[in-house]
């Protein structure tokens, strides 16, 4: 079994800050006003994957660095056919399409920019890898023999694939469109003897697995390029100029070290998510879904709260006594007549969802209140207490603001730290310093937005 190990998000924020420092001093070219950079990536393209609800991969981080340099939001689009990508690119609905250089249409070559090279590698369990290291002369065909070889679908697009079929005539070859982590788990569990996948994903896979090692690197380089929308010549020139500068930076060397050497192994942290849950959020996805379906909540929203509260650690106990995934106080269980151990993940999540429901019902939002305002105000109650949020809503109402608008409520929640407002006649719960609660709401909503983009409901 492969256990969850997630590359720290702080690492990538660190990259972005360094990249901005290195490249941001360059004078930016004048480009049409935009708020986001939209990039289409093939499902089976190397260099992009979703793990623990977050985006990772070499090409993802490279485009994220460029988007950060431009001060834009990066939007990744998947699931488009080749014809759909070409059409949307021509219409300017996509800014970039990433593709294997060898598969770019002749008409699109003038608008393409080479971005990086990678390779495919062969993985095996540790016993077979040890045998390969001991061999005086390694021969791929003899080594694989009549073994079961699982191949990522992207490898079929390489020239090596055809030659491999000829040289491994005794082996059983299986081609899979599953994500690399599912394939790695199948290899680690002994369902297959060997796996061929892209190098950067193999690095992370070897870090996650206790029983998988890289054995062989195929000589054929795999070149990837970015095709830029022909409607925006300035974007191609700007991206190309930025990429040339970036390739000479220390941050570029760090990015290559992370994905193509051993850096990613050393940066892997945490545990608990099986690799088959790549594309999901945590080891508790099924539990979140089952409970939230019954209680009427988006499970990704509850997962975002759990991440913020405990980083999905069901055994966490705070200094105040809050327990488990959702950091529930033991006395809450008695209020909702939930039997059993509060630390039990099922009880813990059920209690949290019931608390959210009770809070929302008691707030009595006016008809037409937006879903986002509802979520943010409920979250503030979950973190800071319903009494303080009710005070803030009362202040908003008294001074002509909207008690159902998070912008207005958060303002008065902050003002409750001022003794003048804390002594107001509509305030029942005293002074409150709301910075932590505002940060909690911001962080949960931000993570929920990421989960909504990356993980299906």
How far is the C-alpha of 155 from the C-alpha of 190, rounded, in Å? 21
Q: pLDDT tens across 308-349, in order?
A: 898 788 888 887 888 999 999 888 777 777 778 898 999 999
Q: How confident is the model at residue 412 (pLDDT cuts 50, 70, 90)?
A: very high
Q: How confident is the model at residue 448 (pLDDT cuts 50, 70, 90)?
A: very high
pLDDT of residue 45: 66
Judgement on whether residues 73 and 62 belong to the same structural domain of the protein: yes
Last residue of a domain, one of 269, 301, 335: 269
Q: Is residue 275 part of a domain?
A: no
Task: Provide the domain limits for residue 246.
Answer: 6-118+222-269
pLDDT of residue 207: 67
Judgement on whether residues 402 and 376 belong to the same structural domain of the protein: yes
Judgement on whether residues 167 and 256 belong to the same structural domain of the protein: no
Is residue 152 predicted with pLDDT exceeding 80?
Answer: yes
Is residue 5 predicted with pLDDT exceeding 50?
Answer: no
pLDDT of residue 311: 79
pLDDT of residue 234: 87
How many distinct structural domains can be found in the chain?
3
Judgement on whether residues 289 and 378 belong to the same structural domain of the protein: yes
Q: pLDDT tens across 413-433, in order?
A: 999 999 999 999 999 999 998
Last residue of a domain, one of 200, 217, 234: 217
Q: Is residue 1 part of a domain?
A: no
Q: Is residue 213 part of a domain?
A: yes
Q: What is the mean pLDDT of the chain?
A: 82
User: Is residue 416 within 8 Å of residue 432, measured between CB atoms?
Assistant: yes
Judgement on whether residues 231 and 106 belong to the same structural domain of the protein: yes
Judgement on whether residues 319 and 424 belong to the same structural domain of the protein: yes
Judgement on whether residues 348 and 235 belong to the same structural domain of the protein: no
Q: pLDDT tens across 33-85, in order?
A: 677 899 998 656 667 777 667 777 788 889 988 988 888 888 888 778 888 88
Q: Is residue 280 part of a domain?
A: no
CATH number at residue 209: 3.40.190.10
Judgement on whether residues 306 and 296 belong to the same structural domain of the protein: yes
Q: Is residue 277 part of a domain?
A: no
Q: pLDDT tens across 252-300, in order?
A: 887 777 676 654 444 443 333 444 445 678 878 999 999 999 999 999 9
**Mean pLDDT of the 132-144 span:** 87
Single out the residue of 120, 119, 118, 108 nearest to residue 226, CA to CA: 108
pLDDT of residue 399: 96
How far is the C-alpha of 132 from the C-alpha of 215, rounded, in Å? 7
Place of tokens 């911001």: 442
Judgement on whether residues 233 and 374 belong to the same structural domain of the protein: no
Q: pLDDT tens across 199-257, in order?
A: 877 876 676 666 888 899 998 888 888 999 988 878 989 999 999 998 888 778 877 77
Last residue of a domain, one of 199, 217, 235: 217
Q: Are strands 112-118 and 194-198 parallel, antiparallel or unpaired?
A: unpaired
Judgement on whether residues 337 and 425 belong to the same structural domain of the protein: yes
How far is the C-alpha of 196 from the C-alpha of 122, rounded, in Å? 5
Q: Is residue 127 part of a domain?
A: yes
Q: Is residue 168 part of a domain?
A: yes
**Where is pLDDT greater, at 430 or 11?**
430
pLDDT of residue 48: 77
In sequence order, the 6+-apart residues with CB closer than 8 A to the CB of 183 are 150, 152, 176, 192, 195, 197
**Where is pLDDT greater, at 252 or 123?**
123
Q: pLDDT tens across 376-400, in order?
A: 999 999 999 999 999 999 999 999 9
- Please tell me the chain's helix, strand, coil percentages from 3-state DSSP, rounded to the nearest 5: 50, 15, 35
Q: Is 127 exposed, middle or buried (0-12, 13-18, 19+ CB in 10 A)?
A: exposed
Q: Is residue 274 part of a domain?
A: no
E strands in 171-221: 172-176, 194-198, 212-217
Judgement on whether residues 429 and 330 belong to the same structural domain of the protein: yes
**Mean pLDDT of the 13-35 span:** 47
Judgement on whether residues 82 and 50 belong to the same structural domain of the protein: yes
% of the chain surpassing 70 pLDDT: 85
């Amino acid at each position: 079994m492969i256990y969850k190990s997630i590359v720290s998000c702080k690492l990538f924020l660190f990259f972005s800050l360094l990249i901005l420092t290195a490249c941001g001093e360059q004078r930016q070219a004048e480009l049409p006003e935009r708020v986001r950079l939209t990039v289409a990536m093939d499902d089976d393209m190397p260099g992009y994957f979703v793990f623990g609800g977050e985006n990772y991969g070499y090409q993802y981080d490279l485009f994220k660095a460029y988007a950060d340099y431009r001060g834009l939001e990066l939007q990744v689009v998947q699931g488009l056919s080749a014809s759909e990508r070409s059409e949307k690119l021509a219409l300017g609905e996509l800014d970039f399409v990433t593709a294997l250089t060898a598969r770019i249409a002749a008409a699109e070559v003038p608008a393409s920019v080479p971005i990086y090279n990678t390779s495919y590698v062969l993985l095996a369990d540790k016993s077979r890898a040890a045998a390969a290291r001991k061999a005086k002369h390694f021969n791929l065909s003899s080594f694989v023999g009549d073994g079961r070889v699982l191949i990522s679908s992207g490898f079929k697009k390489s020239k090596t694939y055809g030659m491999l079929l000829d040289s491994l005539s005794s082996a059983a070859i299986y081609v899979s469109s599953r994500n690399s982590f599912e394939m790695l788990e199948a290899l680690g569990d002994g369902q297959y003897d060997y796996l061929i996948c892209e190098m950067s994903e193999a690095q992370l896979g070897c870090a996650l697995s206790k029983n998988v090692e890289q054995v062989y690197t195929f000589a054929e380089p795999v070149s990837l390029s970015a095709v830029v929308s022909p409607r925006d010549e300035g974007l191609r020139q700007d991206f190309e100029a930025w990429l040339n500068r970036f390739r000479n930076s220390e941050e570029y060397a760090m990015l290559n070290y992370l994905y193509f050497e051993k850096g990613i192994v050393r940066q892997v942290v945490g545990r608990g998510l099986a690799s088959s849950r790549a594309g999901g959020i945590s080891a508790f996805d099924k539990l979140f879904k089952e409970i939230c379906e019954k209680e009427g909540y988006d499970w990704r929203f509850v997962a975002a709260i759990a991440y913020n509260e405990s980083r999905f650690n069901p055994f966490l106990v705070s200094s105040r006594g809050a327990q488990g995934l959702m950091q529930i106080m033991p006395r809450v269980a008695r209020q909702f007549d939930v039997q059993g151990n509060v630390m039990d993940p099922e009880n813990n999540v059920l209690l949290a969802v019931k608390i959210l429901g009770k809070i929302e019902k008691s707030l009595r939002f006016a008809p037409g209140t937006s879903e986002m305002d509802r979520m943010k105000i409920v979250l503030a109650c979950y973190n800071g207490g319903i009494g303080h949020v009710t005070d803030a809503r009362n202040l908003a109402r008294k001074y002509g603001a909207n008690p159902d608008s998070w912008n207005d409520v958060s303002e008065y929640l902050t003002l409750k730290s001022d003794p003048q407002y804390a002594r107001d006649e509509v305030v029942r719960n005293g002074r409150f310093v709301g910075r932590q609660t505002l940060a909690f709401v911001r962080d949960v909503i931000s993570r929920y937005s990421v989960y909504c983009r990356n993980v299906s409901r």
